[in-house]
């Protein structure tokens, strides 16, 4: 089969980690007889430099015409002076909206070989950790009105609107229930229903939806409590479903609990099979161009692409097993190395993982 992938390398370490993910994808293609075609386009700081805007229409068009999008990371200090609504990060929000990517899957799991990396006590993590955060990605406060205004007395006021409609909550709840039914069957819906109307609608809508899923246990948690329980008792969680902003915050917290944010992939899905795949980490401008970045999060992101967009489960497993083999053989990138392990650069890591697939 032929698959067309739009590639947005982005800024900082983005191009380096994307390059290794493509190397691994090509190894998969060779082994299993698929052809992956890549159409590289610009977004973020790279697009500001080239076209004067962070998300050119041609980039959106190329992504829409593709079967899936692979993205590195955007942003960096070079564009700190750019006004808020034109910053590289806006390209991400723009792509999510334009492509209808409302369901963001962010797994936070601990690799057996890296159990020591977590900042939490072994007694709390006993037996590992495997949480899936399902974050709503195209609604809520990030996409509500943003207003800054000055009144006649010179007082400046700014506000942002958190807004959810029932259909937006229904479709993300459905994603969470479907995901949970392939896992441990538990969904925790996180909101702030003791204060916010939008959260009360969220809670009611998720509860209504749950009646369609007999096999799922649903519980609700306020976001402040959830942020505490993630540290106190992370094993409570199987699937967490939550709004755009709460998901943004909790997914950073959850990723840090695993101790290795350089290992975590993500998928942003639209209705149907279309999706955009990117590592959870950012553009790490401090180490860009030094061959030190960990490409594994991006490599695991293409495994998610194979699984969710192309329905190639065996091929996705092959990538995940190759990553585990790399770790089992004692190789590490700098960010996850403790003492006595062979530290590999970005390129060497990609080459080794690709060779395990071959």
Helix (H) or strand (E) holding 221: strand 217-222
Shortest distance in whole angstroms from residue 73 CB to ligand IPM:
9
Residue 322 near residue 24, CB atoms below 8 Å: yes
Shortest distance in whole angstroms from residue 243 CB to ligand IPM:
12
Contacts of 117 (CB under 8 A, 6+ apart): 110, 258, 259, 260, 336, 338
Smallest CA-to-CA distance from 171 within 285, 46, 271 is with 271
Contacts of 101 (CB under 8 A, 6+ apart): 95, 137, 138, 268, 269, 270, 274, 275, 276
Residue closer to ligand IPM (CB basis): 91 or 201: 91
92 interface partner picked from Mg ion, ligand IPM, none, CB below 5 to 8 A per type = ligand IPM
Distances (CA, A) of 135 to 139, 193, 267: 10, 17, 10
Residue closer to ligand IPM (CB basis): 252 or 348: 252
DSSP state of 270: -
89 interface partner picked from ligand IPM, Mg ion, none, CB below 5 to 8 A per type = ligand IPM
Shortest distance in whole angstroms from residue 255 CB to ligand IPM:
10
Q: Which own/partner contact pairs does 321-326 have at CB distance under 8 Å and 24+ positions apart?
A: 321/356, 322/24, 322/353, 322/354, 322/356, 322/357, 323/296, 323/299, 323/353, 324/111, 324/113, 325/356, 326/296, 326/352, 326/353, 326/356
Shortest distance in whole angstroms from residue 248 CB to Mg ion:
4
Task: Enumerate binding residues for ligand IPM (CB under 6 A).
Answer: 89, 92-93, 248
Residue closer to ligand IPM (CB basis): 218 or 269: 269
Residue closer to ligand IPM (CB basis): 44 or 350: 44
Instruction: Give residue for tokens 């702030």.
Output: 192
Q: Distance between the two ends of the chain, CA-based, in angstroms?
A: 18
Residue closer to ligand IPM (CB basis): 97 or 236: 97
Q: CA-CA distance, 288 to 218, in Å (whole number)?
A: 42
Shortest distance in whole angstroms from residue 346 CB to ligand IPM:
21
Q: Which stretch binds Mg ion (CB under 5 A): 89-97, 225-233, 245-253, 275-283?
A: 245-253
Residue closer to Mg ion (CB basis): 99 or 133: 133
Q: Which stretch binds Mg ion (CB under 5 A): 20-28, 184-192, 195-203, 241-249?
A: 241-249
Residue closest to Mg ion (Cβ)? 248
238 in contact with Mg ion (CB under 5 A): no
| Rg of the chain (C-alpha set) | 20
Count interface residues toward Mg ion (CB under 5 A). 1
93 interface partner picked from ligand IPM, Mg ion, none, CB below 5 to 8 A per type = ligand IPM
CA angle 171, 164, 100 (to 5 degrees): 50
Binds Mg ion by CB under 5 A, chosen from 248, 278, 315, 335:
248
| Residues labelled catalytic | 142, 192, 224, 248, 252
Shortest distance in whole angstroms from residue 194 CB to ligand IPM:
24
Binding region for Mg ion (CB under 5 A): 248
């Amino acid at each position: 089969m032929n698959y067309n992938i739009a590639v947005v390398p982005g800024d900082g370490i983005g191009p380096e980690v994307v390059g290794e993910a493509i190397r691994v994808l090509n190894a998969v293609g060779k082994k299993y007889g698929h052809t992956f075609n890549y159409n590289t386009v610009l977004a973020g700081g790279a697009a500001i430099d080239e076209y004067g805007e962070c998300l050119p229409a041609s980039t959106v068009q190329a992504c829409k015409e593709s079967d899936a999008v692979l993205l590195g990371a955007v942003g960096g200090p070079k564009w700190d002076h750019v006004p808020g609504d034109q910053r590289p990060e806006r390209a991400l929000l723009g792509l999510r909206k334009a492509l209808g990517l409302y369901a963001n899957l962010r797994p936070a799991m601990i690799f057996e070989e890296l159990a020591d990396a977590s900042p939490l006590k072994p007694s709390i993590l006993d037996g590992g950790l495997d949480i899936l955060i399902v974050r709503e990605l195209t609604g809520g406060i990030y996409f509500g009105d943003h207003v800054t205004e000055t009144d006649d007395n010179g007082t400046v006021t700014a506000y942002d609107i958190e807004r959810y409609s029932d259909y937006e909550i229904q479709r993300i709840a459905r994603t969470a229930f479907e995901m949970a039914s392939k896992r441990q069957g538990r969904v925790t819906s996180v909101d702030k229903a003791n204060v916010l109307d939008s959260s009360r609608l969220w809670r009611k809508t998720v509860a209504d939806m749950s009646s369609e899923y007999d096999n799922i246990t649903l519980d609700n948690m306020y976001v402040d409590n959830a942020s505490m329980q993630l540290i106190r008792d992370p094993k409570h969680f199987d699937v967490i479903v939550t709004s755009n902003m709460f998901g943004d915050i909790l997914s950073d917290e959850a990723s840090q609990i695993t101790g290795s944010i350089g290992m975590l992939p993500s998928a942003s899905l639209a209705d149907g099979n279309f999706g955009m795949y990117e590592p959870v980490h950012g553009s790490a401008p401090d180490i860009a161009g030094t061959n030190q970045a960990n490409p594994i999060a991006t490599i695991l992101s293409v495994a998610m692409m194979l699984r969710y967009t192309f329905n190639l489960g065996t091929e996705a497993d092959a990538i995940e097993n190759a990553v585990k083999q790399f770790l089992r053989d004692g190789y590490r990138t700098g960010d996850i190395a403790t003492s006595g392990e062979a530290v590999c650069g970005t390129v060497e890591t990609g080459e080794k993982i690709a060779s395990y697939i071959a």
